[in-house]
Structure 1
Amino acid sequence: MKLIFLLMITFFTGSVGFGQGNNYVQNYKKFDGLALTPPMGWNSWNRFACNVDEKLIKETADAMLSSGMKQAGYTYINIDDCWHGERDSLGFIHPDLKRFPSGMKALADYLHGKGLKLGLYSDAGSQTCGGRPGSRGYEFQDALTYASWGVDYLKYDWCNTEGLKAEGAYKTITAALRKAGRPMILSICEWGTDKPWVWGPAVGHLWRTSGDIFNCFDCVEDHGSWKSWGVMQILDKQDGLRKYAGPGHWNDPDMLEIGNGKLTAGEDRAHFAMWAMLAAPLIAGNDLRNMNQETREILTNKQIISINQDSLGIQGFRYSKLDGFEIWFKPLNKGKWAVSFLNRSARVKKIDFNWRSEDVKDEIFQKELSASILYKIKNAWTDKSMGTTKNSLKTEVPPHDVLTLILEE
């Protein structure tokens, strides 16, 4: 009888232990079916930094519609750092009500009513980079709060993370988002320090590959303990990473500086074209309310956007470089290709490219631009024909500018 009693205790305690174990299993996998093409939207940081409020966000949403940005594919309105107020006695975060008097739920409803989506920012550490309350220790509460507000996109930064390991910290916020139940894009903003391209595809939808972008075409801003990088410097940092990117999981070379006043029109074109070739998220960072026509035309160019949003989701590659002049190729759906001739130098570069004598192969994704196939050539910027690949391409590219073509059988 004693033996039976002991067996019964063992069975029930074992069952309870097993049950408790099941209750605490976490789902560290991101929401599937999101960001099947690189996300397109706007973020407040590059232009406004901490100067964000409800009025700015609503006016930006209105401008996204009136400017043609939404029609071009831009969807997300992402509020970066400094929206935070304080946590209440139970630890739940609230927005700064001086800046966002209507609250985030009302703002999300406003955006959703216009066919747009709301993104918010938080940080894996105790404080955000701007000194606001971070999510460390409050991940599940914050995820529940964001879900209740109707948030669609979370950018999760990496400041003030003493002692944390990146992969584990991002798995925690992913588990919290899954538990909250509202599908959200997770943007991993870990700056590439812990190789997020290796573990990020299962955890998030995009991951930063470098430190912050700097509004400069080809330079570095040294802050002492850290650096910001110009457009060309960040482009170089993508080398070797293309094999990790694809539908639902993207390398993120940071947000766009187009229209922020320090780049020339040619540099803005080069910036946009190369982010498209990289299959990078297209997150505008300018003041949408006050765009000039030139900026608007760059950001809404349908053919360049089609290169970025191509359903294959293959990141482009650098085919050659010489004396500040580079040629990049990107395989596209239905046998098409995108080609960008990038002039990083301060001098005009002449092109004499013989399509028939070049051997263009994408060894990683097993794609080939066949010299035996006659392709029609279209200028992606002007949407005009430039003949076929029967003849050599002979033209020139101005300094700090780009020529982008689409080849189609």
Structure 2
Amino acid sequence: MKFRFLLLIAFFTSSVAFSQGNNYVQNYNKFDGLALTPPMGWNSWNKFACNVDEKLIKETADAMVSSGMKQAGYTYINIDDCWHGDRDSLGFIHPDSKRFPSGMKALADYVHSKGLKLGLYSDAGSQTCGGRPGSRGYEFQDALTYASWGIDYLKYDWCNTDGLKAEGAYKTITAALRKAGRPMVLSICEWGTDKPWVWGPSVGHLWRTSGDIFNCFDCIEDHGTWKSWGVMQILDKQDGLRQYAGPGHWNDPDMLEIGNGKLTAGEDRAHFAMWAMLAAPLIAGNDLRNMNQETVEVLTNKDIIAINQDVLGVQGFQYSKLDGFEVWFKPLNHGNWAVSFLNRAGETKKIDFNWQIEKVKDEVFKKELNANSILYKIKNAWTRKSVGTTKNGLKTEVPSHDVLTLILEK
């Protein structure tokens, strides 16, 4: 009897311990049901860097609506680095009171009133890249704070992370966001150093695949200890990654430089088309308040956006390349296809593409375009006009640093 009594006590004690242990198990899985197509929005960094304040964000939200970008599908207004003030005596973060005098909750309410969503930036390290307070050691407090403000999207950077392992650090912020209870898109921004495409799909909704983009079509900016990459250099770094992307988990080649004054009109088109072909997040990085019509037409092109937002969620692939001229294909829903003829060269290139002869196979996602058995109607995604069918070959030209993007429909 005594033995049975002791056994019962031991069982009860172990059960309590086990149940208590379960209380502390963290959920390292991101919120489901978000970013089922690549996120579309705007981020402050490319154009404004640390020069962010409440007035800019409100005016940008207004411009996203008035410019037609919201109607085209852009949703997120994301404040990057340098919004931070100090932590209070309990460790809770506050926005810079001079830059954001009304507070983040009021700003989120304003953005939400426009039918848009608000995003913020933080860092896995002790300080952000801009020297503001990072989230290391404050992850759960910060997540609770962001949730109370009504934040919808978190870009989480990787500066000043001495001794941390990326996968573990990002799992911590994911657990913190889950505990806080408000669904947020998590943008993993550790620059592709620790292969986030391998472990990121369950942890975040998108992950950077490289270092920062540079406002240049085809060049590298060397900072000494690190480099920034032109649009074409970033494009090249996506090679071998497409199998990791899909609905709810996207390769992120960084934000757009369209409309920031350094790229030509053709280069802007090529930049936008290739990000669409990559099923990349479309996060504008220009001043939405001061856009010329050319920039608006690129950023709001419905057919290019439709390629990007296709529900199949398959990232495009390079089919061929020769002397700076590349052909890319992207499988779309309902058996349709997108194709981009990208001219990276310094001179105009001629196209002579025979749909009947070319056999386009996507070996990763098991898709095949065979114009011998299926007749496709062809639409120019930039002019939005019909240009025949795949019964006849394509003969045309693409100017230097420009792109021709077509949609093939059954």
Question: TM-score of the superposition, structure 2-length normalised?
Answer: 0.99
Distance 1:275 1:7 in 2: 64
2:403 matched to which residue of 1?
402
How far apart are 1:143 and its partner, in Å?
0.3
Matches within 5 A, 1:187-266: 187-266=187-266
Equivalent residue, structure 2, for 1:51: 51
CA deviation profile, 1:46-99 (whole Å, cap 9, x unmatched): 000000000000000000000000000000000000000000110000000100
Structure 1 match to 2:350: 350
Q: Distance in 1 between matches of 2:21 and 2:222?
A: 49
Structure 1 counterpart of 2:70, one-letter code: K
Rounded Cα–Cα distance in structure 2 between residues aligned with 1:114 and 1:213: 29
Deviations 1:311-343 (A, max 9, x none): 000000000000000000000011110000000
The residue number in structure 1 matching 2:325 is: 325
1:107 aligns with 107
* Deviation at residue 15 of structure 1 after TM alignment: 1.9
| Residue identity matched to 1:395 | T
User: Which position in structure 1 is the counterpart of 2:138?
Assistant: 138
- AA at the equivalent of 2:128: T
Secondary structure of 1:120 counterpart:
strand
Please tell me whether the aligned partners of residues 151 and 184 of structure 2 are also in contact (alpha carbons under 8 angstroms).
Answer: yes
- Structure 2 CA distance for aligned equivalents of residues 57 and 40 of structure 1: 16
1:388 corresponds in structure 2 to 389
SS in 1 for 2:183: coil
In structure 2, how many angstroms separate the alpha carbons of the residues matched to 1:295 and 1:265? Answer: 8
Q: Distance in 2 between matches of 1:9 and 1:225?
A: 61
Distance 1:88 1:16 in 2: 36
**C-alpha deviation, 1:17, in angstroms:** 0.9
Task: Name the counterpart of 1:376.
Answer: 377
Deviations 1:356-401 (A, max 9, x none): 0001000111111112211111100010111111111000000000
How high is the sequence identity, in percent, across the aligned residues?
89
C-alpha distance in structure 1 between counterparts of 2:150 and 2:328, whole Å: 40
Partner in structure 1 of residue 87 of structure 2: 87
> How does 1:58-77 map onto structure 2 within 5 Å?
58-77=58-77
1:8 CA drift (Å): 3.8
Aligned-pair distance for 1:20?
Answer: 1.3
Q: 2 CA distance for matches of 1:66 and 1:144?
A: 33
Q: How big is the shift at 1:5?
A: 4.7
Distance 1:398 1:126 in 2: 48
Pairwise CA RMSD: 0.8
How many Å separate the matches in 2 of 1:256 and 1:366?
A: 30
Equivalent residue of 2:29, what SS?
Answer: coil
The answer to whether the 8 Å contact 2:371/2:391 transfers is no
AA partner of residue 305 (structure 1) = I
Find the aligned partners of 1:54 and 1:358 in 2 and give their Cα distance.
Answer: 53
Q: Once the two structures are superposed, what CA deviation does each residue of 1:197-236 show, in whole Å capped at 9, x if it has no partner?
A: 0000000000000000000000000001100000000000
Secondary structure (helix, strand or coil) at the match of 2:70 reads helix
- Aligned equivalents of 1:179 and 1:14: distance in 2? 26
Residue 7, structure 1, aligned to residue 11, structure 2:
no
Gaps spanning 5+ residues in structure 1: where?
none
Q: Distance in 2 between matches of 1:223 and 1:82?
A: 21
State the secondary structure of the residue aligned to 1:18. helix
Query: AA paired with 1:75?
Result: T
Q: Give yes or no for the alignment of 1:273 onto 2:273.
A: yes
What is the rounded CA distance, in whole Å, between the counterparts of 1:9 and 1:132 in structure 2? Answer: 52
Q: Per-residue deviation at 1:11?
A: 2.2
Which amino acid is the alignment partner of residue 321 of structure 1? K
Residues in 1 aligned to 2:283 and 2:263: alpha-carbon distance in whole angstroms = 17
What is the rounded CA distance, in whole Å, between the counterparts of 1:178 and 1:116 in structure 2? 22
Give the Cα–Cα distance (whole angstroms) in 2 for the partners of residues 353 and 97 of structure 1.
59
- Per-residue CA deviation, residues 156-199 of structure 1 (Å, 9 max, x unaligned), is 00000000000000000000000000000000001000000000
Q: Could you tell me which amino acid in structure 1 is paired with residue 387 of structure 2?
A: M
Pairwise CA distance, 1:3:
3.0
Alignment partners' CA distance in 1, 2:214 and 2:263: 11
Displacement, 1:4?
A: 4.2
| More off after superposition, 386-395 vs 4-13 | 4-13
Measured in 2, the distance between the counterparts of 1:16 and 1:92 equals: 33
Letter matched to residue 307 of structure 1: I
CA apart distance, 1:41: 0.1
One-letter amino acid of the counterpart of residue 356, structure 1: Q
Structure 2 alignment gaps of length 5 or more: none
- 2 CA distance for matches of 1:56 and 1:294? 22
Q: Which secondary structure does the structure 2 equivalent of 1:288 belong to?
A: coil
Deviations 1:216-263 (A, max 9, x none): 000000001100000000000000000000000000000000000000
Amino acid at match of 1:145: T
Taking the aligned partners of 1:264 and 1:365, their CA distance within structure 2 comes to: 34
CA distance in 2, matches of 1:329, 1:162: 41
Q: Find the residue that maps to 1:80 and give its secondary structure.
A: coil
Query: What is the aligned length?
Result: 409
Residues in 2 aligned to 1:239 and 1:361: alpha-carbon distance in whole angstroms: 17
| 2:278 partner amino acid | L
